[in-house]
Amino acid sequence: MISSRQDDGPPTGHDGRYEGTGRFLRVIGLMSGTSLDGVDAALIETDGVSVRYRGAAVSLPYEASLRERVYALFGQAAAFAGETLDALPEEFRAVERELTDAHVRAVQQVLKQEGTADLVGFHGQTLYHAPEKGRTWQMGDASRLSHLTGLPVIHDFRSADVAAGGQGAPLAPWYHAACLGDMQGPVAILNIGGVANVTFVGADGTILAGDTGPGNALLDDWALRHTGVACDRNGALARAGQVDQAILAGLMADTFFARPLPKSLDRQAFAMALERVSGLGAEDGAATLVAFTVRSIAQSALPEVPRGWFVCGGGRHNPSIMQALSHALPGTVAAVEALGWNGDMVEAECFAFLAMRSLRGLPLSSPGITGAPGFGSGGRLSCSALVPSSVLGGAFTR
C-alpha cells in the first residue's frame, strides 16, 4: 500500500533492476478521460518509479456546452487525425483552446494549494484512437499550457507506442504496478472510466493489461438520452431494469472479445450498442448496458484467477456495476480505497508518474501492457517557459 509519504525499500523497474535515482520532482498530472466529465488534476512527488508524496487533487467538471462540442468532434475526428493545429477546422482549434484553458485552471487550483510544482503531465482529451491505422489523438495545446502555467509539460504519451506497433493504451498499468509494490499476485486492478481496462499482476509479478470493453460511456450516453443527466446516478435506472439476454449475447459476439490482451478501444467503438438497445425502455436498456460492461470484464482472458479485483474510476461509484461485478467475478471485488488509494485520482496521478518516466527516458511501452514489440519510452516535452536547470537539467545532459 502506498500512503502519503513512504519508504518501502527499493522499487524495481520492468526488468527487476532498481531504476530510482532519488531525484524526485513535484509533478501535476492531468487527465480528462473518455467519460467527458471534466479534468482531474493531482500533484505527486515521484522519480518515475515510486511515489513519496501525494498532494492536492482537484476535479473540474466540463461545462455542458464544452462536453457537447467535444462530443460533436468525435464523429469528425477520424478525418482530421494527424493534421497539424493550423490545418484543423476552426471549431477544432476553438475547442482545443477551451479544453487547454480548463486544464490551465486545474493546474492553477492545485498550485494555489501546493505553492510549487516542477512539471506537468498532460494527457489531453482523446478524440480518436485507431492503433491499427497508426493513429491516436489526444487533443490539447501543450505549448499554450506551458506558456500559461510557466511549467514544462510532457504530453502526447501514446503516439510513440502506436508508431512502434503497440496499442498506445492502456498506460496506467505502469502506475498500478508501482502502487501495488510488493503485494502478492495474482491480483487485478480494474479501471472503469468511459472505457474499462484491466491490469493483471500474476503470482510471479508478470504484468498483463488491456482494455476489456465499454465502461460507463454507453451508459452515460443512454442516461443522457432518457433522463437529460449524463450518468445513471447511483445505478438507479439499471437497478430497476431487466437484462435483455439476447441483445447481450449479440453484443458479446463481437470479435474484440475473442482477442487476447493486450488490446485497446476507441470510446465510440461500441456506439452501435446504443442502437441495439434502442427498442428497450430506459431501465432495461441501462441494465443491459451494465451487463455488457460487466460481462466483457469477466470474459477478459487472464492467465490466472485473481484473488482480488480492485476497482478505480467512476464506475466504482455505480452500485449496479459493483454488485454485478461481485456476482460475475471469482475472488474479492472492492474499490481501490481498500488498498489506501484515491480511486478518483489514480489516472491523474498516473500521468504525473508517466511524465517523470518520460523525462527520464524510462519505458512507457511494453509487450504485456501495450502489446509493443519491446520496451520503449514516449511522451514529448513542451517548454514555453524558462525553468531551473534542477528540473530539466537531467533531460538535456549528454
Ligand X SMILES: Nc1ncnc2c1ncn2[C@@H]1O[C@H](COP(=O)(O)OP(=O)(O)OP(=O)(O)O)[C@@H](O)[C@H]1O
Ligand Y SMILES: CC(=O)N[C@H]1[C@@H]2OC[C@@H](O2)[C@@H](O)[C@@H]1O[C@H](C)C(=O)O
Mask for 319-348, x = binds ligand X (CB under 6 A): ----------------------------x-
35 appears as a binding residue in the annotation: yes
Q: State the number of binding residues for ligand Y (CB under 6 A).
A: 17
Nearest to 379 by CA among 391, 396, 369, 364: 364
| Stretch binding ligand X (CB under 6 A), from 80-88, 160-168, 206-214, 215-223 | 215-223
365 appears as a binding residue in the annotation: no
Confirm if 351 and 33 have CB atoms less than 8 A apart.
no
DSSP at 260: P
358 appears as a binding residue in the annotation: no
CB of 9 to ligand Y, least distance (A): 26
| Beta strand extents in the chain (DSSP E only) | 25-31, 38-46, 51-61, 119-122, 125-130, 135-139, 153-155, 187-192, 195-201, 207-214, 308-312, 332-335, 380-382
DSSP string, 236-255: HHHHTS---HHHHHHHHTSG
- Which of ligand X, ligand Y, none lies near 318, with the C-beta cut-off 5 to 8 A by kind? ligand X
- Which of ligand Y, ligand X, none lies near 233, with the C-beta cut-off 5 to 8 A by kind? ligand X
The residue within the footprint of ligand X, chosen from 46, 138, 146, 216 (CB under 6 A), is 216
- Which of ligand Y, ligand X, none lies near 171, with the C-beta cut-off 5 to 8 A by kind? ligand Y
The residue number with the shortest CB distance to ligand Y is: 170
Cα–Cα dist 274/252, whole Å: 14
| Stretch binding ligand Y (CB under 6 A), from 11-19, 182-190, 191-199, 282-290 | 191-199
205 appears as a binding residue in the annotation: no
User: Whose Cβ is closer to ligand Y: residue 149's or residue 167's?
Assistant: 167
Mask for 126-165, x = binds ligand Y (CB under 6 A): x--x------x-----------------------------
User: Whose Cβ is closer to ligand Y: residue 92's or residue 157's?
Assistant: 157
The residue within the footprint of ligand Y, chosen from 38, 193, 285, 378 (CB under 6 A), is 193
Sign of CA dihedral 294, 200, 127, 39: positive
- Which of ligand Y, ligand X, none lies near 172, with the C-beta cut-off 5 to 8 A by kind? ligand Y
The 3-state DSSP class for residue 88 equals coil
Cα–Cα dist 370/387, whole Å: 33
| Stretch binding ligand Y (CB under 6 A), from 12-20, 78-86, 190-198, 246-254 | 190-198
151 appears as a binding residue in the annotation: no
Nearest to 73 by CA among 141, 127, 125: 127
34 appears as a binding residue in the annotation: yes
To 10 degrees, what angle do helices 282-298 and 245-252 make? 40
Mask for 253-292, x = binds ligand X (CB under 6 A): ----------------------------------------
Give long-range contacts, CB 8 A cutoff, 24+ apart: 384-393: 384/143, 384/144, 384/146, 384/147, 385/146, 385/147, 385/149, 385/150, 385/151, 385/152, 387/118, 387/150, 387/151, 387/152, 391/25, 391/118, 391/119, 391/152, 392/152, 392/359
Report the site for ligand X in 8-37 (rule: CB under 6 A).
31, 33-35, 37
397 appears as a binding residue in the annotation: no
Report the site for ligand X in 188-207 (rule: CB under 6 A).
191, 193-195
User: Whose Cβ is closer to ligand X: residue 168's or residue 193's?
Assistant: 193
CB of 345 to ligand Y, least distance (A): 12
38 appears as a binding residue in the annotation: yes
Q: Which position has the grid cell 460487466?
A: 294
Cα–Cα dist 325/322, whole Å: 5
Confirm if 279 and 313 have CB atoms less than 8 A apart.
no
Confirm if 249 and 257 have CB atoms less than 8 A apart.
no
CA 321 to chain centre: 18
CB of 46 to ligand Y, least distance (A): 16
List interacting residues with ligand Y (CB under 6 A).
Answer: 33-34, 126, 129, 136, 169-172, 191, 193-195, 197, 211, 264, 347
List interacting residues with ligand X (CB under 6 A).
Answer: 31, 33-35, 37, 191, 193-195, 215-216, 220, 231-235, 313-315, 317-318, 347
User: Per the annotation, where are the binding residues?
Assistant: 33-40
